[in-house]
Each structure stands twice: as structure tokens, then as C-alpha cells.
Structure 1
Amino acid sequence: MIGDIKNISFLARLVGVIRVVSNLLGTELRFWDLLGERMSFSLRVYLRALAHNRTILFTFLCMIAFIAADPSSARAFVPVWFAVGFWPVLFAFYLTVMILCLFGVAALARAIPNLRVPIPVIGFVALIPTVVLCESCLHYASNGTLVPDFVGKLFIFFFMVQGLETIYFRFILPDIRKELAAEEPSRHLVIGGEKVELTKLLHIEAREHHVHMTFEDAKSRARARLSDIVAQTQDTDGMQPHRSWWIARDPAIRVERKNGRVVLRLRDDTEVPVARTRVDEVLSWLQTHVHPAE
């Protein structure tokens, strides 16, 4: 009996951890790149992009560049075979620390909805343990003849890595994201026990114990709670500007002011109120997902 209770407790904690990780993976992260341009992506998208053939090719070319450039000045102290095997391992370590940092940013983003972080800062933080590992391993591999230079190498690595990451985030990742989006099957929400195709849904309004759904070519009503529906969505699907409303992401959304209050005008001319406490969050979401160039 006690063993069964412990197993149930363990499974409950495991489910809780999985739910937290899933929420963090789906959280939209907002950044500035090295040149001050805004960008955003979720960890789930980022991890999928890392496994893309174009990312693998780009990484391979970066490894060749690092081996040839020898930024640690280790060529005269360690054998070539060591350098060839060392850089991929070092990159894997840097990428692991980078992903952990992004998980930290995702946790902060859930607490601070308008958070936007300069991605070079995250790269710099991830480089600190990477450079320490690099210099320490090279010092050991060279039998102590290569003296570590942690600070000097940190800045050399920083500018090299930031240059390559800027190329990746600006010119490679956007195309990969388009390909990944095209490959995704149609997603559905479960509302009132029925499956609803997410891509056709424009907005949902909660009235008492029912939700009123508006689609591209139809309307429907179901007995359900709006909070349960919103829990099935991600930041990139839409957002909740008011406790009684959920709206889908749509380039036709426009911000207006009516009687001193902020409202959203949707493509079907529906006016959706924005709660006073959510105005900044809504405007930030619109700027990131709907009108990034404005």
C-alpha cells in the first residue's frame, strides 16, 4: 500500500515536471540580435531547427572554420587529430549550456511577459564555462606548455561566435522555420468534447458556461471553459487579451482606442476589449507575432 502511494506520488511529480518542461518549450522567447533587430522563437522550434539538414551543414562549415582559424593558438602544442575531435565536442558543450540558458529565459518570460533579451548576452554567458573548459583541456593536452588565457580567449570567441550566430539567426533560421511550419499537420483543440481545427478559428468569447466560437466561414457554441481551451494553445497560436476572449494570430488585427480603452479590431469587424492590466502584454504580443515590422 505504501509502495503504491509512493509510486503514485512519483508519477504525479514526473507528470508535473513534464508539464513544466512542455510549457517552457512552447514559450515564445523574444530577443535582440547583435545588430539590434528583433526576433522571437520558442525552444521547441529552436531544437527542431538544430536537427535540420541546413543547420547541420552550417555547423560543419563552422567547425572547419574554427579548425583552420585556430582561435586558441593551440596548433603548435597539440596534435592535429586532437584539434579535429576537440572542436565538435566543445561546440556540443557550448550548445548544451546555451539551451540551458534559453530554458532560464523561458522561465523568466513566463513570469515577465514583455521580457526581451539581447541574445549576445546569452551567448556570452554560455561562452564563459565553454572557454574555461577549452583552455583547461588544451593546457592539459599540451602537457602544460599552453598557458590558459581565459579573458583574452573569451572575447576572441565571443566575436567569432556572435558573427556566425548572427548569420544563422538572420539568414538561415527564418527559412528553416518556414519549412518546419509547412511540414506541421493541422492542429486541433478539444472544445466541449469535439475536435476543432485551430487554423480556421478566429476568436472565442466566453459567456456564462458556454464559449462562442467564430470560424472563417461559420460560428459555433459549446459548453466549455475558456481557460481549458487556452491551456491547449501556444503563444504563436493566439492570445487572451481579456478574461472572456481568446483571439487567433492574424495579420488583420488592428489596435484602436474607444472611450479611452484599448480594443482590438478583428478581420470580421469584431471589437475585442483589452483588459487594462494586459495592455502592455497584448501590445508586445502583437509586435512580436502580428506586426513585427511596425
Structure 2
Amino acid sequence: MTRIQQALCREMHTFDALWHEIHLTLREIPLIFTRRESVVFLCLAGLTLIALDPHDFLDHITIIEAAFVWIFAEGIFAVVYFAILLGIAMLPAKNPQRVYLPIPSAAAFAVTTVFTESLIGALSNGVYIPKIWPDIIAFAAVAQLFEFLFVRYLLPDVLADIRKNAPLPPTQSMLTIGDHTWSIDDIAAISSNQHYLRVDLCDGTQTTVRARISDVIDTIEPDRGLQPHRSWWVARHAGPALISEGRKRWLTTQHGHKIPVARGRIDEVEKWLDTHPVHSSGTPES
């Protein structure tokens, strides 16, 4: 996989304005915005902006031109926002990237505002003059409100539905570690012991390879499995199930593994299992 492909498949932990967490990958974003719910939300947001006219555009241009401007603005915002998230995902990191969404949103808003205000100036033959206070500042707050409503109340259901009905990604079917290559479908789990990895196959055989688990996991798409502990990766098709023994949590698989779940990853593991359900036989739902 290329660096960009890895970034698109790398799981990110995103947080809304009130620090509510949602896990996603950048390759899911196009799917999110092709959903009917998302399209309806964006259309309603655009109509609201045209009706409220927070920049007083309608004093200088027609309503048709205003509609064009807001469509243009939403497109610029989406492209810049995605580019910022892609840049963050491409940064080297051992753990999933954590992103407080209002920060890239504010940066994308600033770039979009410059383009939008310039466009209005051109359409009005230079008559329109931007008003930073209170117009642009107030609109920045409105934009953050729209994002918060989308991320908090719409995105979780859309993501859950996408993942429930999506088959395992076919783009990464093989895994190469050192001189060894396996089909990912043949791997049940991978564990780390100092500088070596033990690869447990579904047929019960094992292979030891010199490598770092973080480098290997970066090449595997997040839907393929999960990392319950810094020293373990478990395949989705191995049928992982979460159990409790006293205060300790474990993942068991249909291949006989009993894998510790790090205390700091319990919530992450529970969320992954909720959004990546498997049948009792271990076969991922599609």
C-alpha cells in the first residue's frame, strides 16, 4: 500500500466540540456523504444559509448567484477539510490519530471564507465589502454548530449502517512480513514478543518473523481486525468475543486464543465490536 492508501485506511479518533468520540477512516468519508441522510442535511444547511443570508449577500447579488456561492463554499470547505485530515493521517504515529474536529474545521472555514468573499466581490463588481465583525465571526459560530449537529446526531448512525452492510475490503488481501506472505483471510492473530512477531494461522500453524507490530498493523485495513493490546492484533474473521474475568477483560477467538485487553483500550474494543459484528461462526456480517 502507498503512504496515501495507508492514511486513507488508518483509523482516526475524532472528537466533536463537546469531546464526544467517533472512530472513522478517511476512505469512509465519501460513503458518508453519498448517504441520503447526509445529502438532505447538506441541502437543508444550504437552504438555511440562503434564507438567513448571514453575510447580506442578497443585497448585492441575486438569489441564484447566492445559491451558486453557497454550493461553491460547501465544496471548498469539504476539499480543504479532507486535505487537512489526510495530512494528519499521514503523520507517523504508533496509535490512531486523535483529532479535535473544531480545529481543522476552523482552518477549512478560514480558507473557504477567503474564496467566498472574493467571489462575492467579483460578482458584485467590487461593491460588496466583507464585514469581519460581526458577520464573519457570527457565521463561524453557525458553521461550528452545523458541524456539531452532524457529527453528534447524524454521523454515528450513518457510520454504523455503512459498516454493517459493507463487505470486507478486497483491496488488501495479502500481508507480507519480511520474506513471508500470507492471505489475511488465513491469519487469526498476530502477537509481539520484543523484536519478533508470532503469526498464528487459522489452520493452527505458527510462524515467527522479525518485525514490529506497529509497522504491520499500519498496512492492514482497520475493518480487517483490531488491536486490543499493544502486543496483539486479532482478525475479524477469527470471531473475537469480549469476556470478563473479575476486573480483567479478554478477547477470545474460535481458534482458541485468549488475548488480554488493555485497560485503556476497553472502550475502543467495545466500540469496534459494536460496529463490526460477526456471526457466531466468526464470519463477518455483510
**TM-score range normalised by the length of the shorter chain:** 0.7 to 0.9
Q: Could you tell me how far apart the structure 2 residues matched to 1:256 and 1:47 are?
A: 42
Does residue 70 of the first structure (1) align with residue 60 of the second (2)?
no
Task: Spell out the pairing of 1:48-127 with structure 2 (5 A cutoff).
Answer: 48-108=31-91, 110-111=92-93, 113=95, 115-127=97-109
The 1:247–1:70 alpha-carbon spacing in structure 2 relative to 1, beyond 3 Å, is same
The 1:232–1:125 alpha-carbon spacing in structure 2 relative to 1, beyond 3 Å, is closer
Q: Which has the higher contact order (CA 8 A, sep 6+)?
A: 2
Deviation at 1:242, TM superposition (A): 5.2
When Rg is computed on C-alpha atoms for both structures, the one with the higher figure is 1
Q: Could you tell me how far apart the structure 2 residues matched to 1:242 and 1:164 are?
A: 37
Does residue 290 of the first structure (1) align with residue 274 of the second (2)?
no
Q: Match of 1:290, as an amino acid?
A: E
Aligned partner of 1:11 in structure 2 is none
Q: Match of 1:185, as an amino acid?
A: P
With the length of structure 1 as denominator, give the TM-score of the two structures.
0.71
Q: Could you tell me how far apart the structure 2 residues matched to 1:77 and 1:157 are?
A: 18
The superposition leaves residues 186-232 of structure 1 with CA deviations (integer Å, 9 ceiling, x where unpaired) of: 4585477765648xx76334798963246xxxx52155757697465
Deviation at 1:71, TM superposition (A): 1.2
More off after superposition, 155-164 vs 227-236:
227-236
Aligned partner of 1:239 in structure 2 is 227
Which of 204, 222, 237 aligns to 1:220? It is 204
Q: Secondary structure at the match of 1:75?
A: helix
The structure in which a higher percent of residues are helix is 1
Q: Could you tell me how far apart the structure 2 residues matched to 1:105 and 1:255 are?
A: 38
Aligned partner of 2:160 in structure 1 is 178
Which of 118, 121, 138 aligns to 1:136? It is 118
Structure 2 residue runs of 5 or longer lacking an equivalent are 273-286
The superposition leaves residues 136-168 of structure 1 with CA deviations (integer Å, 9 ceiling, x where unpaired) of: 211222222221124644422221111111111
RMSD: 3.5
Q: Could you tell me how far apart the structure 1 residues matched to 2:65 and 2:147 are?
A: 25
The 1:81–1:247 alpha-carbon spacing in structure 2 relative to 1, beyond 3 Å, is same
Aligned residues: 255
Does residue 147 of the first structure (1) align with residue 132 of the second (2)?
no
Q: Could you tell me how far apart the structure 1 residues matched to 2:235 and 2:5 are?
A: 21
Aligned partner of 1:252 in structure 2 is 242
Structure 1 residue runs of 5 or longer lacking an equivalent are 1-17, 258-262, 275-281
Q: Could you tell me how far apart the structure 2 residues matched to 1:118 and 1:209 are?
A: 33
